[in-house]
Amino acid sequence: MDRSIDPCADFYQYSCGGWMKANPIPADQPSWDVYGKLAVENQRYLWGILGELAGRTEGRNAGQQKIGDYFAACMDEAAVERLGARPLKPYFDLINGIVSKKDLAPALAHLHLATGDSGFFFAFGSGQDFEKSTDVIAFATAGGLGLPDRDYYLKDDEKSKEIRAKYVAHVARIFELAGDEPQAALRNAGRVMEIETALARESLARADRRDPYRLFHKMDLKGLQALTPGFDWAAYLRTLGVERARTFNVTEPAFFKAFGQQVGALRLEDVRTYLRWHMASAAAPVLSSGFVNAHFEFYSKTLSGVPELKPRWKRCVSLVDSQLGEALGQEFVRRTFPPEVKERALRMTRRIEEAMRQDIEALPWMGPKTKQKALEKLRAISNKIGYPDKWRDYGPVVVKRDDFFGNVERATRFEARRDLAKIGKPLDRTEWYMTPPTVNAYFDSQLNDINFPAGVLQPPLFDPKMDDAPNYGNTGSTIGHELTHGFDDQGRKFDAQGNLRDWWTNEDNDAFTERAKCVADQYAQYTVIDDIRINSELTLGEDVADLGGIILAWMAWKAETAGKALEPRDGLTPEQRFFVGYAQWGCTNDRPDNIRLKAITDPHSPPQYRTNGLMVNLPEFEKAFSCKPGQAMVAEKRCRIW
Ligand SMILES: [Zn+2]
């Protein structure tokens, strides 16, 4: 904390000033915050586990063999160096084998399977039908870009132009590393930029993609084929092994139309150039140092301002986590997540759900009909705490100690096939979309569940040795946050069964929209950096969840501690400790370039506003710190939804 600051003037600085001073951003990180620091601590712990498993070949079970040998192969940097660009050769041969337009579809399917990368024009996988959440159908999703958002291609300010110029130089650099002459590399980079810009023009803005109705366009194969006449979908599906797929959600038909036009209009040579770039770029982080460094220089240094590449062990731990995450997760959970911690987190979750029930019943602006539906949805939410009940079986993934690139390929293909295999099969409600060591949490609208991996239920976020006030302020608010996502401007469009269906009366719909507008208007005032304001249409769901989350956590904490005599500690009342506990999950140091990147891509508001933007709305905060009207942390007009 920084107690020299008046909490009523800047509560974020008051709660986090000490942390920010004591925790400068490490040279290999884009930013540094309490979550990020815990994530690195978890990684360091996993490094110990993996180092031990990599160091022996005896006495390991099947999962331990896979993660141990994967890690050993990844850490063998000399072997990776010796290979240079050679692992790209079979893929470049495949791409160079595209000699007529009809060759494109099967080649693209091979590239999608091998890389799992959405950079090759589009992404294809499985997803729940928005109208009938128990059906798993095929999803064709817009992609094809090398920059992090379509805005980078379309904005006209100096900074965007500068980044585009550096991007083209980076693409050329990768072409050179892959064997092109400098002149050809530059020419090819220009072609890539033209193709991607055309695709970006027909891509939806990030804020518009938050509206599920805009991403739901169900059609049969005929409909899909009609969008892109020159692309042979039957051949594509056959190569993927999903010719049985009958129903497709094409998330952005305008994009696929543009893709179809590109396929018709582009010269084959340019298509091959574009595919070669995305292949080399997708593989760059797992190739030799020339590729790794070039990739880092652009994607981390230029875009986020990170000075130094992460050490190899961190990159290897991350790869094991992303490719064999539930095998690694079992080892993590066994050592760090005892049943009593799970029980305590569950108890807190139930408390917060009960608070939400009471809150909904008491809402002055919602009518009885909508309330009944809201309560039904709340009751249907399932709580996933710590780790999956059933672990994923990586049996088919062959992992060899001396074949790093091959391991990456095989694990990627396994994941792509696992995802595609779900099409047309019954929905698996037990699946997790985060691995157990992850320091994060999420709500899923269609499964209607909240998910808290073991990695996020660790000190200093969730600390079983601490009293309830900071734990409810911190983790309790996060649980409330995820819960209210089911009722934010996006989540409320899905019903208790996870179907996209309007269950609101017109009056309640209007009342919600008016209250949400209060929050959107509030955050739109805040400056992120330079003259960039928060894009509060993009951050609205998160801002609404933050506000609802802390209110529910407060109610739940009051219920949990009712009748108990709570003592002040560290010179703070229990109420003050609740709020400081809240603020301290979000203490952050950040770099200007990274702040600019997040202003475009991150649906969360910057951390100072995720704290102060809530406090100004809360009479409970005003009272706890005896703030006075007119002070910065007391708003004249207060927003409240839940
Ligand atoms: Zn959220």
Three-state SS across 238-272? HHHCCCCCCCEEECCHHHHHHHHHHHHHCCHHHHH
Q: What spacing in Å lies between the alpha carbon of 442 and ligand 1's midpoint?
A: 6
162 is catalytic: no
**Model pTM?**
0.96
Cα dihedral: 9, 463, 551, 1 (round 10): 0
Q: What is the pLDDT of residue 289?
A: 98
The reported pLDDT for the residue numbered 623 is 98
Residue positions counted in the chain: 642
Which residue has tokens 């469009």? 493
Task: Report the pLDDT value the prediction gives residue 597, as an integer from 0 to 100.
Answer: 97
Are 226 and 282 in contact by the 8 Å Cβ rule? The answer is no
On the question of a cis peptide bond just before residue 460, with omega within 30 degrees of 0, the verdict is: yes
Pair of tokens at residue 108: 């693209």
As a whole number of angstroms, the distance between CA 108 and CA 239 comes to 9
Instruction: Give the other-Cβ count within 10 Å of 575's Cβ.
Output: 20
Q: Which residues sit opposite 384 in a β-bridge?
A: 451
What's the first-to-final CA gap in the chain, in angstroms?
A: 29
Distance from the alpha carbon of residue 477 to the mean position of ligand 1, in angstroms: 11
Q: Encode 153-213 in three state secondary structure.
A: HHCCCHHHHHHHHHHHHHHHHHHHHCCCCHHHHHHHHHHHHHHHHHHHHCCCCCCHHHCHH
Ligand 1 centroid to 441 CA: how many Å? 8
Distance from the alpha carbon of residue 480 to the mean position of ligand 1, in angstroms: 10
Residue 610 CA to ligand 1 centre (angstroms)? 11
- CA-only gyration radius of the chain, Å: 25
Q: How far is it, in rounded angstroms, from Cα 156 to Cα 353?
A: 46
**DSSP assignment of 410-449:** HHHHHHHHHHHTTTTSBP-TT--SS-TT-S--EEETTTTE
Cβ partners under 8 Å of residue 329, min gap 6: 387, 391, 435, 436, 437, 454
Cα of 443 to ligand 1 centre, how many Å?
7
Burial status of residue 100 (CB atoms within 10 A of its CB: 0-12, 13-18, 19 or more): exposed
The CA 448 to ligand 1 mean position distance, Å, reads 14
Q: Classify each residue of 447-478 as buried b or exposed e, where b means 16 or more C-beta atoms within 10 Å of its C-beta.
A: bbbbbbbbbbbbebbbbeeeebbbbbbbbbbb
Question: How far apart are the CA of 540 and the centre of ligand 1, in A?
Answer: 10
Six token digits for residue 304? 């986020």
Residue 599: per-residue pLDDT: 97
Q: What is the pLDDT of residue 28?
A: 98
Taking a C-beta distance cutoff of 8 angstroms, is the pair 557, 578 a contact? yes
Instruction: Give the span between the Cα atoms of 496 and 503, in whole angstroms.
Output: 10
**Catalytic residue, candidates 482, 590, 593, 622:** 482
Instruction: Name the phi and psi angles at 127, rounded to 5.
Output: -165, 165
CA distance 486 to 240: 34
Query: Which residues are within 5 Å of ligand 1 (an ion), measured at CB?
Result: 542, 545
Task: Verify whether residue 389 is a known catalytic residue.
Answer: no
**Residue 292 dihedral angles phi and psi, to the nearest 5°:** -60, -45
Strands 248-250 and 136-142, how do they pair?
Answer: parallel
Provide the pLDDT for residue 219.
98
Tell me which of 546, 590, 593, 622 is the catalytic residue. 546
What's the pLDDT score for residue 440? 97
Whole-number Å distance, alpha carbon 596 to ligand 1 midpoint, is 20
Q: Which residues in the chain land under pLDDT 70?
A: none
Only one residue has tokens 């991007």, namely 167
Decide: helix, strand or coil at residue 124. Answer: strand
- Closest among 74, 83, 78, 86 to 401, alpha carbons compared: 74
CA gap 602, 206 in Å, rounded: 9
Which pair of structure tokens corresponds to residue 32? 């540094």
User: Could you give phi then psi for residue 231, rounded to 5 degrees?
Assistant: -110, 125
Residue 199 pLDDT? 97
